[in-house]
Amino acid sequence: MQTRDYRSQFWQGVRDLMPLVSGVLPFGLIVGANGVALDMSPELIMGMTVLFFAGSAQLAAMQLIQENAAFVVIVLTTIVINLRFAIYSATFAPLFYPLKKRYRLPFAYILSDQAYGLCIAPDQQQRSDAERISYYLGTAVALLVSWVLSVILGIAVGASIPPEWMLGFTIPLAFLAMLMSTITNRLLLIVAIVSGLAAIFMQGLPYNLGFILAIVTGVIAGLVLPRLAGRSFNSVMGRPHE
């Protein structure tokens, strides 16, 4: 009886993830096809996909590999892009910490933006721990499977795309589209402009260090500007209580 409830929660999670596949599929196609365009073997692309399991970091790494960036710069970039997972990790910590290691470790691996987004919904918060874990597994496993399949499809399609199509330009366009969805107030817009301009001016620095420095410049601008304007960070961000 109880097992049935958990199973239904699992499938509920799978069903809730399905609409998000429309966002995952083109992203996976781009990652797979760009890997092929970079002359990476299918095994290498799939190995990268499984090791990262983080699309935006993987795409950023591919762009930096194309630009001959230094090893350390690529690792740093990946870490900076994936720092958001620390927030998700903190969100799920009360739920997963009491579990045995053999569950906790794989549960951490399948953590994703999409699973986080679905599991923090208010109606999920009211359920029992076991139901919430079942629902999490449904969303996270469904995302993992659809992500891997999308990349495989991208590898299959990528081999037949001629270079005149300038497929590589899909990478900055994808980041631009993601950028637009993260800009939700004026401070974040200023941070994006400062960081983008800094990245242009520091392009000539060796090892693509300009990229890391541009991010630092943007974040510092975002921390300092509210103070110069005599307002608190939280009020500028529209977060009264946090």
Partner 1 sequence: MNDLTLWGLFFVCGLSTYLIRLSFIQLHGKLGPLLAKCQPVLLLLPPAILAALCIPPIVFSKQNDGLQVELAQILAGCVAIVLANYFKSLLWPILGGMTFLWGYRWLIG
Residues 3-22 that bind partner 1 (CB under 8 A): 22
Based on the shown chain and the rule CB under 8 A, indicate whether residue 121 belongs to the binding site for partner 1. Answer: no
| Residue range at the interface with partner 1 (CB under 8 A); choices 5-13, 70-78, 131-139, 149-157 | 70-78
Based on the shown chain and the rule CB under 8 A, indicate whether residue 23 belongs to the binding site for partner 1. Answer: yes
User: How far are the Cα atoms of 38, 83, 99 from residue 57, in angstroms, in the given order?
Assistant: 16, 11, 29
- Report the candidate in 201, 200, 228, 198 with the shortest Cα–Cα distance to residue 215: 198
Nearer to partner 1, 128 or 182 (CB): 182
Based on the shown chain and the rule CB under 8 A, indicate whether residue 127 belongs to the binding site for partner 1. Answer: no
Q: Out of 88, 135, 136, 147, name the contact with partner 1 by CB under 8 A.
A: 88
Burial of 12 (0-12, 13-18, 19+ CB in 10 A): middle
Nearer to partner 1, 11 or 233 (CB): 233
Considering the complex, what minimum distance in angstroms separates the CB of residue 1 from partner 1?
30
Based on the shown chain and the rule CB under 8 A, indicate whether residue 157 belongs to the binding site for partner 1. Answer: no
Based on the shown chain and the rule CB under 8 A, indicate whether residue 87 belongs to the binding site for partner 1. Answer: yes
- Report the candidate in 181, 187, 185 with the shortest Cα–Cα distance to residue 225: 187
Nearer to partner 1, 12 or 82 (CB): 82
> How many residues bind partner 1, per CB under 8 A?
88
Considering the complex, what minimum distance in angstroms separates the CB of residue 131 from partner 1?
19
- Report the candidate in 46, 88, 80, 89 with the shortest Cα–Cα distance to residue 60: 80
What is the C-alpha separation between 49 and 220, in angstroms, rounded? 32
User: Are residues 96 and 108 in contact, defined by beta-carbon separation less than 8 angstroms?
Assistant: yes
Q: Show contacts with partner 1 in window 173-212 (CB under 8 A).
A: 173-183, 188-189, 191-200, 203, 211
Neighbouring CB atoms inside 10 A of 39's CB total 7
Based on the shown chain and the rule CB under 8 A, indicate whether residue 71 belongs to the binding site for partner 1. Answer: yes
